[in-house]
């Protein structure tokens, strides 16, 4: 288990009150116990983790996270996959994404009829997902952050995505994937995204929740026309939901969170019929 010297203070040492320090570690997971919400690391250290991280498990996989020690207990926070091969693949793809955003400049926004850019992010299982790996399916994409408390914004949009997923199941549509991006990766780790999806009844069989490198996400939302402005303790943002065809082309865009699942379902049916004809 590798330990890094970066130290962050979670509770200040002030007037005799002890603080908790977190040190970033890189380690491999030996086993997971979702019931106890623990992971056993390569050196047999047992750490408590969030429910989402315990459900992912990461067994046999390299991860990184912030280790917090409090007395005899140890907790691992902000867990991210850290497989060297995946990290290199993600870095290469996302560097190209950034270069593309810079070159496009004021014309970074991709309108209906253009293709979405390639990207590399992590899903709710901690697996690497690229835009290219999603080709071959019609996609419905939206953008949220899990801490959003405005009922008419992210919660309303994700509720519509959940309803659309149910309606897709009841229809004859095939090869449709719903994809939700987080634009708050400082908080929304794969474990957070997994728990968020489960609490909202999303079926991960055809639903992908994405988070990852902050710069990559900034480039994605810039190219796909979502504005995010940090303000006080929250994020002010616009919203958009897109339909992407099997070749990564943007077919339809609806701004705001109040869109009709019936409208999207009908558009997906028309898109599918064009492919079959």
Q: Which residues are annotated as a binding site?
A: 148, 154, 237
Binding residues for Cu cation, as ranges, are 148, 154, 237
Residue pair 253/240 in contact (Cβ under 8 Å)? The answer is yes
d(CA 173, CA 270): 10
């Amino acid at each position: 288990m590798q330990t890094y010297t970066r130290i962050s203070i979670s509770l200040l040492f002030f007037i005799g009150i002890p603080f908790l320090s977190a040190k970033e570690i890189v380690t491999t997971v030996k086993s997971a116990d979702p019931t106890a919400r623990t992971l056993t690391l390569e050196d047999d250290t047992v750490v408590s983790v969030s429910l989402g991280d315990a459900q992912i498990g990461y067994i046999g996989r390299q991860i990184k996270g912030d280790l917090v020690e409090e007395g005899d207990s140890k907790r691992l926070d902000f867990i991210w996959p850290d497989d060297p091969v995946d990290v290199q693949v993600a870095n290469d793809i996302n560097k190209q994404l950034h270069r593309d955003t810079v070159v496009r400049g004021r014309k970074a926004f991709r309108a209906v009829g253009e293709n979405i850019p390639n990207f590399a992010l992590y899903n709710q299982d901690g697996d690497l997902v690229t835009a290219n790996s999603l080709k071959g399916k019609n996609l419905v994409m939206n953008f949220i952050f899990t801490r959003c408390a405005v009922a008419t914004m992210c919660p309303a949009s994700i509720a519509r995505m959940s309803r659309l997923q149910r309606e897709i199941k009841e229809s004859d549509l095939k090869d449709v994937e719903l994809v939700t991006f987080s634009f708050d990766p400082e908080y929304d780790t794969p474990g957070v995204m997994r728990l968020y999806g489960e609490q909202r009844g999303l079926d991960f069989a055809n639903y992908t929740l994405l988070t990852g490198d902050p710069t990559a996400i900034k480039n994605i939302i810039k190219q796909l026309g979502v504005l995010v402005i940090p303000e006080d303790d929250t994020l002010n943002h616009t919203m958009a939901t897109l339909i992407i065809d099997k070749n990564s082309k943007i077919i339809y865009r609806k701004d705001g969170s109040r869109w009709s699942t019936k409208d999207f379902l009908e558009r997906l049916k028309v898109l599918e019929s064009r492919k079959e004809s």
